[in-house]
């Protein structure tokens, strides 16, 4: 890449600064406001230097005790959805990587096709079905739905990573009498950990943050964090902003740190599932 | 993110397909045509898709021809639900709002994402950090994003509202003015989803050979001409696929609007997904909601048609 002159550099740096403000400013505002005493939250000009307080977090704990149960629900559902997605996608990705036939291609095309359908639409027939089966408001329903909507992307990611594992290893194992499942578990899976992380990342962010399915299919026992936050946000007697920001901070911190730390896997996952070549 | 739908699937078939081509196709000992065991390995993934997406989608088509509610027996009404939709000004308002928001969001994101991608791909100190900060909104859920943007744009007390007022631009009166609400929802949506578009284009720009850019620069081409003649042709396929995916996923916009206004005031800010949700879960008219759902599905599939067609041809070219 050619190096721009001093003017070009200054221009690029100022644009970069603007871009960073645009993407990070709202997040930082909320995190910092969550540590402010309530009366300072809307101070104008905003107070930059303040004595951080945990009052909002204490109030969250007191006024919304369910919040932490809901975090646990989110955690269980996220882990479950990710495990299901990765297990299913690795199996499918392996078959698509190593085998080919017209019927197989047709099934692969089907995977691409169903992803075009809007998720909210499936709530209409599934709502009565899940009620009838007494599955509404369970962790399982959300895990399966989240897995269903991400298994296709994950399959493509896994397939692209499995493509790079040399077949000779598997051939040697076949000669030694290993079964298909053993090959998959002992030889292929350990070699595609990068793919697993890349695919998991998309599922984790989605399952942790999802709103519509959680809104439709949970009422109490399986409610997830975004739903409580939306409740805090729409409190009729006026929003308690401090508590809202404390809740938002607790919800976003783990996944934000995860995404920033695993940034290269986002790019790798994209490249594998998407734009390589 | 409203991303029950990562726009990421982006040419997803093409990369592995191209790799596979370079390699001898079937080996006598291993690989080749799938047998029973291979189909069994595929079953869990396919079963999820069939039972939770395909069958429900087909069922929605069936439901759309019926009057369905919790209280009464399901009754066949033919195209009655579609007639109700056509006669409902709220539905047309929702169609129009969806059209406006989708286009604002998709093109806003494309311009912003492209600009950021060019910025990040060019001379940039601390590039990794820069890219990480740009994708930060991807980690934020829509509810918190709405909270953040309401915080700074809350009429009279939000700091950006206050700043806008101070410089004489006036505030975004999103709670009372439908247009302002749609503008805020679009801004929010752009903020959350730009990381996708940015990353797709950024990754695509990595594929532009460095020597090509250097050669063009040596030949005296400026930044603009390098972009048009060297970079754009390389990233165009990725750009088109990103555009298609964002059209489809932006059309599903729900949370941003629902959490800001619930479609109000007077149902003036509804989009298709909000109309569907209200019909189903507020008015218990599942038939009407299904008809709306069918419209959304057909719109999505027709937008995706060119992509699906090329994917079909490419995939079967090698099978």
The answer to whether residue A75 neighbours chain B at the CB level (below 8 Å) is: no
Q: Partners of B66 in the beta sheet?
A: B76
Contact between residue B144 and residue A224 where contact means Cβ atoms under 8 Å apart: no
In a domain, B205, yes or no: yes
- pLDDT in the model for residue A236: 64
* Residues 6+ away with beta carbon under 8 Å from B76: B65, B66
As a whole-number percent, the residues of chain B with pLDDT over 90 amount to 61
3-state secondary structure of A164: coil
* Residues 6+ away with beta carbon under 8 Å from B310: none
By CB atoms closer than 10 A (0-12, 13-18, 19+), residue B35 is exposed
How far is the alpha carbon of A43 from chain B, nearest alpha carbon, in Å? 8
In a domain, B65, yes or no: no
Residue A118 CB-half CA count within 13 A? 33
- pLDDT in the model for residue B158: 81
**Which among A8, A23, A44, A189 is the top mutation candidate for probing chain B, defined by the most B β-carbons within 10 Å of its own β-carbon?**
A23
d(CA B135, CA A23): 8
DSSP-assigned letters across all residues of A229-261? HHHHHT-TT---HHHHHHHHHHHHHHHHHHHHH
Tokens 């806003």 -> residue: B108
**Which among A43, A84, A118, A177 is the top mutation candidate for probing chain B, defined by the most B β-carbons within 10 Å of its own β-carbon?**
A118
The answer to whether residue A64 neighbours chain B at the CB level (below 8 Å) is: no
Under 8 Å CB pairs connecting chains A and B tally to: 382
A137-141, A256-260, B60-64, B159-163: the lowest-pLDDT one: B159-163
Residue B271, domain CATH: 1.10.3720.10
Q: Which two tokens stand for residue B130?
A: 């820069």
3-state secondary structure of A52: coil
Tokens 């005296």 -> residue: B220
Compare B251 and B20 and report the one with higher pLDDT: B251
In a domain, B59, yes or no: no
d(CA A40, CA B308): 53
Instruction: State the average pLDDT over residues B283-294.
Output: 95
As a whole-number percent, the residues of chain B with pLDDT over 70 amount to 90
Parallel, antiparallel, or unpaired for β B66-67 and B75-76? antiparallel
Compare B156 and B298 and report the one with higher pLDDT: B298
Mean pLDDT: which of B5-14, B35-44, B309-318 is highest?
B35-44
Residue of B nearest to A85 (CA): B45
- Facing residue for A24 by CB, picked from B42, B133, B308: B133
3-state secondary structure of B67: strand
Contact between residue A245 and residue A128 where contact means Cβ atoms under 8 Å apart: no
Integer CA distances (angstroms), B51 to A57, A121, B45, B81, B239, in order: 42, 14, 10, 25, 32
Q: Where are the domains of chain A?
A: 67-275
d(CA A268, CA A151): 17
Could you read off the pLDDT of B185-211 as tens digits, one per residue? Answer: 999 999 999 999 999 999 889 888 888
Q: Which two tokens stand for residue B277?
A: 């949700």
Contact between residue A120 and residue B292 where contact means Cβ atoms under 8 Å apart: no
Mean of per-residue pLDDT scores for chain B: 87
How far is the alpha carbon of B86 from chain A, nearest alpha carbon, in Å? 19
- pLDDT in the model for residue B28: 40
A48-52, B181-185, B266-270: the lowest-pLDDT one: A48-52
Instruction: State the average pLDDT over residues B33-45.
Output: 93
Collect all residues of chain A within an 8 Å Cβ-Cβ radius of residue B2.
211-212
| Residue B67, phi then psi, degrees to nearest 5 | -90, 120
Q: Per the structure, how many domains does chain B have?
A: 1
DSSP state of B32: B
Contact between residue B197 and residue B109 where contact means Cβ atoms under 8 Å apart: yes
Q: Say yes or no for a CB contact (<8 Å) between B12 and A273.
A: yes
B170-189 as b/e, with b when 16 or more CB fall inside 10 Å?
ebbebeebbebbbbbbbbbb
Collect all residues of chain B within an 8 Å Cβ-Cβ radius of residue A187.
none
pLDDT category at B155 given cuts 50, 70, 90 is confident
**Could you tell me which of B307, B289, B201, B319 has the C-alpha nearest to residue B247?**
B307
Q: Say yes or no for a CB contact (<8 Å) between A149 and B5.
A: yes
| Residue B82, phi then psi, degrees to nearest 5 | -70, -35
Q: Which two tokens stand for residue B65?
A: 């021809």
Compare B25 and B50 and report the one with higher pLDDT: B50
Integer CA distances (angstroms), A171 to A159, A174, B250, in order: 18, 5, 45
Whether B105 shows a pLDDT value over 70: the answer reads: yes
What region, left, alpha or beta, does residue A156 occupy, with left being phi > 0 and alpha being psi -120 to 50 degrees?
Answer: alpha
| Residue A210, phi then psi, degrees to nearest 5 | -60, 145
- pLDDT in the model for residue B256: 94
In a domain, B13, yes or no: no
The answer to whether residue A89 neighbours chain B at the CB level (below 8 Å) is: yes
Q: How much of chain A is helix, strand and coil, in % rounded to 5?
A: 75, 0, 25
Neighbours of A130 (CB within 10 A): 20
Compare A155 and B264 and report the one with higher pLDDT: A155
By CB atoms closer than 10 A (0-12, 13-18, 19+), residue B89 is exposed
Collect all residues of chain B within an 8 Å Cβ-Cβ radius of residue A173.
none
Could you read off the pLDDT of B202-239 as tens digits, one per residue? Answer: 988 988 888 888 888 888 888 888 888 889 999 998 89
Q: Domain spanning A67-275: which CATH class is it, in words? A: mainly alpha
Q: Which two tokens stand for residue A155?
A: 């399959």
In a domain, B155, yes or no: yes
Could you read off the pLDDT of B86-103 as tens digits, one per residue? Answer: 999 999 999 999 999 999
Whether B176 shows a pLDDT value over 80: the answer reads: yes
The answer to whether residue A180 neighbours chain B at the CB level (below 8 Å) is: yes
Whether B108 shows a pLDDT value over 70: the answer reads: yes
By CB atoms closer than 10 A (0-12, 13-18, 19+), residue B75 is exposed
d(CA B56, CA B67): 17
Collect all residues of chain B within an 8 Å Cβ-Cβ radius of residue A96.
16
Q: Report the residue count for chain A.
A: 277
In a domain, B62, yes or no: no
How far is the alpha carbon of A142 from chain B, nearest alpha carbon, in Å? 11
Tokens 């959490």 -> residue: B259
B238-277 as b/e, with b when 16 or more CB fall inside 10 Å?
bbebbbbbbbbbbbbbbbbbbbbbbbbeebbbbbbbbbbb
Which helix (H) or strand (E) segment is B76 a member of?
Answer: strand B75-76
Contact between residue A156 and residue A205 where contact means Cβ atoms under 8 Å apart: no
- pLDDT in the model for residue A274: 54
Please name the residue ranges forming H helices in B219-253.
223-226, 232-250
The answer to whether residue A11 neighbours chain B at the CB level (below 8 Å) is: no
In a domain, B301, yes or no: yes
Cis peptide before B69 (omega within 30 of 0): no
- pLDDT in the model for residue A242: 92
Q: Say yes or no for a CB contact (<8 Å) between A23 and B194.
A: yes
* Residues 6+ away with beta carbon under 8 Å from B291: B64, B81, B82, B84, B85
Per-residue pLDDT of chain A (277 residues; tens, 9 = 90+): 556 788 889 999 999 999 999 999 999 999 999 999 888 888 777 777 788 899 999 999 999 999 999 999 999 999 999 999 999 999 999 999 999 899 999 999 999 999 899 999 999 999 999 999 999 999 999 999 999 999 999 999 999 999 999 988 888 888 888 888 899 999 999 999 999 999 999 999 999 999 999 999 999 999 999 999 999 998 866 788 999 999 999 999 999 999 999 888 887 777 666 543 2
Q: Say yes or no for a CB contact (<8 Å) between B210 and A226.
A: no
In a domain, B17, yes or no: no
By CB atoms closer than 10 A (0-12, 13-18, 19+), residue B32 is middle
- pLDDT in the model for residue B41: 95
The answer to whether residue A272 neighbours chain B at the CB level (below 8 Å) is: yes
- pLDDT in the model for residue B2: 39
Residue of A nearest to B125 (CA): A13
Q: Say yes or no for a CB contact (<8 Å) between A91 and B25.
A: no
* Domain extent at residue B301: 89-318
- Facing residue for A226 by CB, picked from B33, B137, B141: B141
């Amino acid at each position: 890449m050619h190096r721009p002159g001093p003017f070009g550099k200054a221009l690029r740096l100022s644009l970069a600064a603007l871009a960073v403000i645009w993407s990070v400013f709202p997040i930082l505002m909320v995190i910092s406001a969550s540590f402010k005493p309530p009366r300072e939250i809307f101070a104008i000009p905003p107070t930059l230097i303040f004595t951080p307080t945990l009052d909002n977090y204490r109030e969250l704990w007191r006024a919304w005790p369910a919040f932490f149960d809901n975090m646990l629900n989110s955690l269980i559902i996220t882990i479950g959805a990710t495990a299901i997605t990765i297990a299913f996608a690795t199996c499918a990705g392996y078959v698509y990587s190593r085998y080919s036939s017209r019927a197989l291609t047709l099934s692969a095309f089907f995977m691409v096709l169903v992803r075009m359908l809007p998720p909210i639409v499936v709530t209409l027939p599934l709502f009565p079905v899940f009620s009838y089966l007494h599955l509404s408001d369970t962790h399982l329903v959300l895990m399966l739905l989240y897995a269903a909507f991400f298994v296709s992307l994950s399959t493509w990611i896994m397939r692209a990573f499995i493509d790079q594992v040399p077949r000779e290893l598997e051939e040697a194992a076949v000669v030694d009498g290993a079964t298909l499942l053993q090959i998959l578990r002992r030889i292929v899976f350990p070699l595609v950990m990068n793919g697993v992380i890349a695919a998991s990342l998309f599922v984790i962010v989605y399952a942790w943050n999802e709103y519509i399915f959680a809104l439709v299919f949970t009422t109490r026992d399986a409610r997830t964090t975004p739903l409580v936050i939306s409740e805090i946000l729409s409190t009729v007697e006026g929003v308690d902003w401090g508590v809202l920001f404390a809740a938002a901070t607790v919800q976003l911190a783990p996944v934000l740190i995860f995404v920033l730390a695993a940034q290269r896997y986002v790019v790798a996952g994209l490249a594998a599932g998407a734009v390589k070549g | 993110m409203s991303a029950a739908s990562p726009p990421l699937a982006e040419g997803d078939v093409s990369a592995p397909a191209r790799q596979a081509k370079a390699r001898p196709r079937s080996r006598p000992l291993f690989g080749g045509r799938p047998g029973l065991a291979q189909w069994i390995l595929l079953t869990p993934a396919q079963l999820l898709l069939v039972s939770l997406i395909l069958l429900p989608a087909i069922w929605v088509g069936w439901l759309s021809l019926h009057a369905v509610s919790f209280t009464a027996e399901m009754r066949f009404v033919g195209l009655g639900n579609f007639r109700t939709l056509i006669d409902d000004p709220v539905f047309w308002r929702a169609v129009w709002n969806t059209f406006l928001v989708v286009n604002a969001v998709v093109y806003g994101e494309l311009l912003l994402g492209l600009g950021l991608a060019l910025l990040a791909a060019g001379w940039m100190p601390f590039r990794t950090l820069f890219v990480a900060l740009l994708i930060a909104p991807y980690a934020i859920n829509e509810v918190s994003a709405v909270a953040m943007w309401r915080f700074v744009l809350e009429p009279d007390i939000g700091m950006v509202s206050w700043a806008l007022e101070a410089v004489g631009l006036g505030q975004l009166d999103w709670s009372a003015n439908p247009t302002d609400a749609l503008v805020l929802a679009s801004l929010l949506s752009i903020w959350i989803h730009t990381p996708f578009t940015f990353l797709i284009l950024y990754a695509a720009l990595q594929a532009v050979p460095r020597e090509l850019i250097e050669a063009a620069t040596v030949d005296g081409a400026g930044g603009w001409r390098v972009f048009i003649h060297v970079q754009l042709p390389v990233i165009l396929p990725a750009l088109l696929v990103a555009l298609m995916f964002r059209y489809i996923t932006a059309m599903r916009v729900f949370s941003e609007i629902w959490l800001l206004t619930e479609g109000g005031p007077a149902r003036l800010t509804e989009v298709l997904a909000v109309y569907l949700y209200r019909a189903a879960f507020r008015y218990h008219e599942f038939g009407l909601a299904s008809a709306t759902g069918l419209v959304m599905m057909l719109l999505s599939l027709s937008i995706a048609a060119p992509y699906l067609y090329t994917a079909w041809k490419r995939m079967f070219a090698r099978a």
